[in-house]
A and B are shown apart, each in its own frame.
Chain A
């Protein structure tokens, strides 16, 4: 279902539907459950579903570019932190020595994490960097 501004804020309109990555809902994450050792950092992580809902809301209130960022974010939820930092590093000037390195990262995003938007975004960067000579060696 597509969310609209009427669903916002999700934590107030549908608290039961807002869960962490392991499925625990907002109401289940309490100080007592933390003290009982039932809560991990994974329970405090946003889900792709929540990001998609926020993307819907953003689009509904006329913020299409913000929505796209949330959708790219949704694709990255399952991507491990190390790989995210590796790709970020690769996107910085002069880190990748050729277009192929970036295309390889895009392929991994697409094939391993089903991150289609992110993959296309990296491909666009690769094309731009080639056009602007960013694959030059930096001391």
Chain B
């Protein structure tokens, strides 16, 4: 007796999938594990007295914690609040997805809403409605994207090369950080130089300790900052070593230096820090976002961020991340919408996570995408990384959605990487910081990641970095060094980025640089009011998005077929003997070939020579003592009809139909066209032995036997996606040669027996 198993083996299969590496947490509001609502969340409410907010979401003024106090003083507009808070939340939720209610109307109301009110409204939307509302409510019309540029060695040569590549892919911002914090200055110079290769206008930040980051910005190397974190509970905030006032002061300090800045907040941070007050993720995040608007920052990096992986373990967590992004844009903040820390090992969950943002658009869809390989990402792997960047390019093409990136030809990438590596090496030499060797440089140009390089190591970099800092080297020194060594274009590009801070135009909400010009929520406001309005992919942009590599067209198919033509000429000759007649002998089996078979097309999709395929079938039929004839049909290219027509002409009543791409059928006179004896539809995996077996079975049917049908084994390959484009193009060549009423032609097939 078969032993009784203790489990369904499907579960064992599932155990092997990457998904099982993700762990999931139970909903548990008391312990902070609740996405949208918790019994501890307050009910929305506000009290206004003499233009002063005297109660906020159920807390009286004298009980305010720091966050309540800041929100009451700096976020709530007492003029708007009574009207906004009196509105029915379900009604406001409907307005968010109503294309006839303009964005400005909703933004004005948000100025008078408390965190609990904002959370209550967006909680009423399902995931699709949130994505739609996000698309309507985001501040800037044109979507953008941000990249991480880091590596495991803090190697400045690779940083420069990777920054240049990221710029060429179209990222609007690049962000670096270090493995070793004292390497910050070297990272900053390397990315600033690399980011100036190819075009100007990519904003750059070096994420480091608060004071150091501001100093690096003062030296002119960076143009924005986004790691000014805020939290939704007072205890988390003080454990983060700041207060709303210290962070707001920092925001003003960045403005005073002409440096763009956004805050960071996201679900799960309070939970990770242990001070969640048993409140839901969304409510705490709504507090963070009201705080940020109150601080007067132009934008936020929001949507889980470091807490995203934790949030994704909670029921509804991913929907919550979308909902908090919606609150951010509803509050009129620029939104770098997370899709940052990799929240799952499942590629399906990755694709599902990114899609709503890709379709809805976002100021910065990822904050950031890993433009480098996972192991080189010093922030931790991103949702999408260098490994998967091409998948993202294809998603843009699939959905005709502008994700901010543009395919980059390999030759162009190499050119830019060479230029960037030469530029940073020249700057280092010119400033007496380092003299990278030719071997170092070339190892970096062609490297996919730092495992492939023989370049500067973290310790070497520390000397460079500390020298930059101690000698007080500024962007002006770097601009001069570039120009002196012949990198004038890069020098100009770098100078142009620093000049942005004079006017401060890029300090406005959602500002980025496109084609050398400022594009922000001020001069490119999102004006979505239904189909035909808001951001649309222009025809020019659509063609850019389409231009991925290795695209097949008919010319390409014919070109590759022409390569096989000569080869086949050495193996087979088809001699047309004129109109074919019906056979009457019982041993007559007909193989019906398609119009282009051996004339325009020479190999099956599996790559077998048609001469060998035909030879295998003929041999197998003859081996049973039967006679096999080849007839070319030109009235049809359809396999079923080829087979049925062949069967009708065969004296035995049995025929084979075969197309040039290798799809074949065994048919019998008198049957319905699509009710054949055996079908071989998986041409890409049909091997010569299968064609031989097909011939043998046809012979068996002709002899009145009942053979075991031939099974072409398959393992679930996505045959369609690999071959359908090619197959459709090939089939069009076949159908192009058909002619209504064309008579069947008897073909004398001469196999010349040449093997090669």
Q: Is the CB of B107 within 8 A of A65?
A: no
Q: Which of A19, A31, A70, A91 contacts B255 (CB 8 A)?
A: A70
Q: Which of B66, B77, B210 has the most CB of A within 10 A?
A: B66
* Interface check B73, CB cutoff 8 A: yes
Given A11-B518, A87-B249, is A50 in contact with B256 using a C-beta cutoff of 8 Å?
A: no
12 pairs across A/B with beta carbons < 8 Å? A5-B522, A9-B518, A29-B502, A40-B476, A58-B509, A69-B295, A76-B256, A81-B215, A88-B253, A125-B245, A125-B246, A128-B70
Interface set of B (CB-CB < 8 Å, partner A) = 65-66, 69-70, 73-75, 77, 104, 107-108, 210-211, 214-215, 218-220, 234, 237-238, 241-243, 245-246, 248-258, 293-298, 332, 474-476, 479-480, 483-484, 488, 491-492, 495, 498-505, 507-509, 517-518, 520-523, 525
- Complex: how many Å from CA A128 to CA B492? 47
Q: Is the CB of A61 within 8 A of B245?
A: no
Q: Is the CB of A88 within 8 A of B220?
A: no
Q: Is the CB of B107 within 8 A of A62?
A: yes
Q: Is the CB of A91 within 8 A of B257?
A: no
A63-90 toward B: CB 8 Å interface, digit per residue (1/0)?
A: 1111111101111110101001101100
A117, closest chain B residue (CB): B252
Q: Is the CB of A31 within 8 A of B488?
A: yes
Chain A residues within 8 Å of B255, by CB: 51, 69-70, 72-74, 76
B252, closest chain A residue (CB): A72
How many of chain A's residues have a CB under 8 angstroms from any CB in B? 64
Q: Which of A31, A44, A61 contacts B483 (CB 8 A)?
A: A31
Chain A residues within 8 Å of B509, by CB: 58, 63, 66
- Complex: how many Å from CA A79 to CA B255? 12
Chain A residues within 8 Å of B293, by CB: 65
Chain B residues within 8 Å of A31, by CB: 479, 483, 488, 491-492, 495
* Distance in Å: Cβ of B563 to nearest Cβ of chain A: 52
A25, closest chain B residue (CB): B502
* Interface check A39, CB cutoff 8 A: yes
Q: A69-B295, A74-B255, A93-B238 are in contact. List 5 more A-B contacts (CB 8 A).
A: A12-B517, A45-B258, A50-B502, A66-B509, A69-B296
Chain B residues within 8 Å of A69, by CB: 248, 251-252, 255, 295-297
A28-69 toward B: CB 8 Å interface, digit per residue (1/0)?
A: 011100110001110011110011011001100111111111
Q: Which of A18, A29, A67, A92 contacts B246 (CB 8 A)?
A: A92
Given A19-B502, A62-B108, is A128 in contact with B66 using a C-beta cutoff of 8 Å?
A: yes
Q: Is the CB of B508 within 8 A of A8?
A: yes
Given A91-B245, A93-B238, A93-B241, is A72 in contact with B505 using a C-beta cutoff of 8 Å?
A: no
A61, closest chain B residue (CB): B522
* Distance in Å: Cβ of A9 to nearest Cβ of chain B: 4
- Complex: how many Å from CA A118 to CA B258? 17
- Complex: how many Å from CA A131 to CA B61? 11
Q: Is the CB of A46 within 8 A of B251?
A: no
Q: Which of A5, A20, A131 contacts B502 (CB 8 A)?
A: A20
Q: Is the CB of A57 within 8 A of B522?
A: yes
B69, closest chain A residue (CB): A128
Chain A residues within 8 Å of B294, by CB: 65
Q: Is the CB of A46 within 8 A of B502?
A: yes
Chain B residues within 8 Å of A40, by CB: 476
B234, closest chain A residue (CB): A132
Chain B residues within 8 Å of A67, by CB: 296
- Complex: how many Å from CA A4 to CA B254? 23
- A-B Cβ contacts below 8 A, count: 203
- Give me the 5 closest cross-chain CB pairs, A-B, nearest first: A69-B296, A73-B255, A46-B258, A76-B256, A125-B245
* Distance in Å: Cβ of B393 to nearest Cβ of chain A: 31
Q: Is the CB of B256 within 8 A of A44?
A: no
Chain B residues within 8 Å of A30, by CB: 495
Chain B residues within 8 Å of A41, by CB: 218-220, 474-476
Q: Is the CB of B256 within 8 A of A46?
A: yes
- Complex: how many Å from CA A93 to CA B238? 6
* Distance in Å: Cβ of A64 to nearest Cβ of chain B: 8
Given A40-B476, A62-B108, is A54 in contact with B252 using a C-beta cutoff of 8 Å?
A: no
Q: Is the CB of A85 within 8 A of B243?
A: no
Chain B residues within 8 Å of A8, by CB: 505, 508, 520, 522-523
B521, closest chain A residue (CB): A61
Q: Which of A45, A57, A132 contacts B508 (CB 8 A)?
A: A57
B500, closest chain A residue (CB): A11
Q: Which of B219, B246, B503 contacts A10 (CB 8 A)?
A: B503
Q: Is the CB of A35 within 8 A of B480?
A: yes
Q: Is the CB of A91 within 8 A of B517?
A: no
- Complex: how many Å from CA A103 to CA B62? 22
Q: Is the CB of B479 within 8 A of A85?
A: no
Q: Which of A9, A12, A34, A68 contacts B495 (CB 8 A)?
A: A34
Chain A residues within 8 Å of B251, by CB: 69, 73
Chain B residues within 8 Å of A35, by CB: 480, 483-484
Q: Is the CB of B476 within 8 A of A34?
A: yes
A41, closest chain B residue (CB): B474
A72, closest chain B residue (CB): B252
Q: Is the CB of A29 within 8 A of B499?
A: yes
Q: Is the CB of A88 within 8 A of B249?
A: yes
- Complex: how many Å from CA A93 to CA B66? 12
B73, closest chain A residue (CB): A124
* Distance in Å: Cβ of B166 to nearest Cβ of chain A: 24
- Complex: how many Å from CA A35 to CA B586? 95
- Complex: how many Å from CA A53 to CA B503? 9
- Complex: how many Å from CA A26 to CA B518? 15
Q: Is the CB of A10 within 8 A of B296?
A: no
Q: Which of B214, B502, B508, B525 contacts A26 (CB 8 A)?
A: B502
Given A31-B491, A128-B69, A134-B243, is A91 in contact with B504 using a C-beta cutoff of 8 Å?
A: no
- Complex: how many Å from CA A92 to CA B229? 13
A60, closest chain B residue (CB): B522
